Amino acid sequence: MSSEFGNRLRVSIFGQSHGSAVGVVIDGLPAGEAIDLEELQRFLERRAPGRNALSTPRRETDEPRFLSGLENGLTCGAPLCAVLENRDQHSSDYDALRDVPRPGHADYTAWVKWGGRADMRGGGHFSGRLTAPLCVAGGIAKQILARRGVFVGAHLASVGPEDDAAFPPEPDAALFAAMAAKPFPVLDDAAGERMRAVIADAAREGDSVGGVIECAAVGLPAGIGEPMFGGMESRLAAVLFGIPAVKGVEFGAGFSAARLRGSQNNDPFCLRDGQVRTSSNHAGGILGGITNGMPLTLRAAVKPTPSIAKPQQSVSLSRMEPAELTVTGRHDPCIAHRAVPVVEAAVAAVLLDLLEEG
C-alpha cells in the first residue's frame, strides 16, 4: 500500500524514473466533470524541469495519455488512468551508483528492502519523476475544486536563508493565479532574486539548497474532516510526506505556535458578513481536525537536493569498505520551486477526497 492514498478518491501512482512510463490511476472521481487538458498541461509544466536556468535541462514528457476514465473530455465514473512516457533516459549515468549508495538518497534503503532487485536508475520509484503523475491527479482535482469554489495555491516561502513574504491573511484565487503564472513563484520579487542567487551560488559550487513551500486553500466549507486520526492535518500530512524530500509539515502557526501563549495563539471568533470567522488564523483553518471556514494554511519543508556534484563519502556495498562517490550528470541545485505545484497537487487531491466523502 505504499503508493496509494485516499478514501473515496483513491490515487495510485506507478512507475520508475527510468522505466518506460510513470502514471496514475484515480478511482472514485465524480462522473461528468470536464477536464480542460490545456489547463492541466499548463499546471504540469509548472513542475517540469528545464523551465528556467535553475533547473536541469533534462526533457521529460509531461503530456499524459489517458487510457481510461475520460470520454469526450468528461470523467465517466470509471477509474481514470493517465500515463506519462519516459523518453529521456541516461541510464549509464547511474550504473556506477548500484554499488555505492548516494548519501541522502533511497539507494541504500531500497537495497536493504528489495535485496538489490530494485530498479534504482534515476531514483527508481523514489524519484521526483513520480511527482509528475501526482500532479496529474492534483491538477484534475484543482479543476473540479475550482468549480466548487475551492482554490488551492502556493508559493516558495524560503530558499536556503532567504525568505519570501507570507501569504496575506485571506489569500484568494487571483493571488494563486498570479503565483502560478510566475516562473519563480514568490510574492516578493526582490526576495525571489535573492533566492535565485542562492540557488545559482550553490550550483556554481556543485552543491544544492532546500526550501519551504507555503500552501493555502480557500473556499472550503466549515465542517470538513474528522476528529483524531481522520483529521485534516493527519490526512494532508500523510500525503505531503509522500512527496520525496519533504521532511517537515506544519499547519497554521505550526512550530511557532509552540513559542506562543494561548492568549496569542487562540484565534478569537468574530462575525463577518453574517458568518462566523476568526480574526486571526494561527489554527490554519483547522480546529480539532475539522475545517472552520478560514483559509487552510500549511508549510512543507523540502530538503536540499541530495544529488550534488561535490565528492561525498559513502561505502561499497559489495566490498563493505569506504568509497568516495562523485555523482555525475546534471541535477537540479534546488527542487523546492519545482515542488510548489506538487504541494498544491497533493493538497488538492486530499481536499477533493474529503469533499467527496461529504
Q: Which of residues 94-133 bind a second copy (CB under 8 A)?
A: 101, 103-106, 108-110, 112-119, 124-126, 130
Shortest distance (Å) from residue 272 CB to a second copy: 10
Interacting positions 290-349 with a second copy (CB under 8 A): 290-293, 299, 301-308, 310, 312-315, 317, 320-322, 336
* Window contacting a second copy (CB under 8 A); options: 47-55, 142-150, 187-195, 261-269: 261-269
Residue carrying the nine cell digits 550553490: 202
Task: Say how far residue 90 (Cα) sits from the centre of its chain.
Answer: 25
CA distance 157 to 184: 11
DSSP for residue 29: P
> In this structure, are residues 91 and 124 in contact, taking their beta carbons and an 8 Å threshold?
no
> In this structure, are residues 277 and 294 in contact, taking their beta carbons and an 8 Å threshold?
yes
CA distance 15 to 196: 31
Residue carrying the nine cell digits 487571483: 174
Instruction: Give the angle subtended at the CA of 136 by the CAs of 131 and 139, to the nearest 5°.
Output: 110
Binding mask 157-186 for a second copy (x = CB under 8 A): -x-xx-------------------------
The yes or no reply on residue 250 touching a second copy (CB under 8 A) is yes
Shortest distance (Å) from residue 177 CB to a second copy: 26
Shortest distance (Å) from residue 288 CB to a second copy: 2
Phi, psi of 119 (to 5 degrees): -90, 90
The only residue of 37, 61, 66, 329 in contact with a second copy, by rule CB under 8 A: 66
The yes or no reply on residue 31 touching a second copy (CB under 8 A) is yes
CA distance 140 to 11: 12
Interacting positions 269-288 with a second copy (CB under 8 A): 269-271, 274, 276, 278-279, 282-284, 287-288
The yes or no reply on residue 358 touching a second copy (CB under 8 A) is yes
Phi, psi of 129 (to 5 degrees): -55, -30
First to last CA, the chain: 24
Binding mask 183-222 for a second copy (x = CB under 8 A): -------------------x----xxxxxx---------x
- Beta-carbon contacts of 259 under 8 Å, excluding residues fewer than 6 positions away, are none
Shortest distance (Å) from residue 53 CB to a second copy: 19
Shortest distance (Å) from residue 17 CB to a second copy: 10
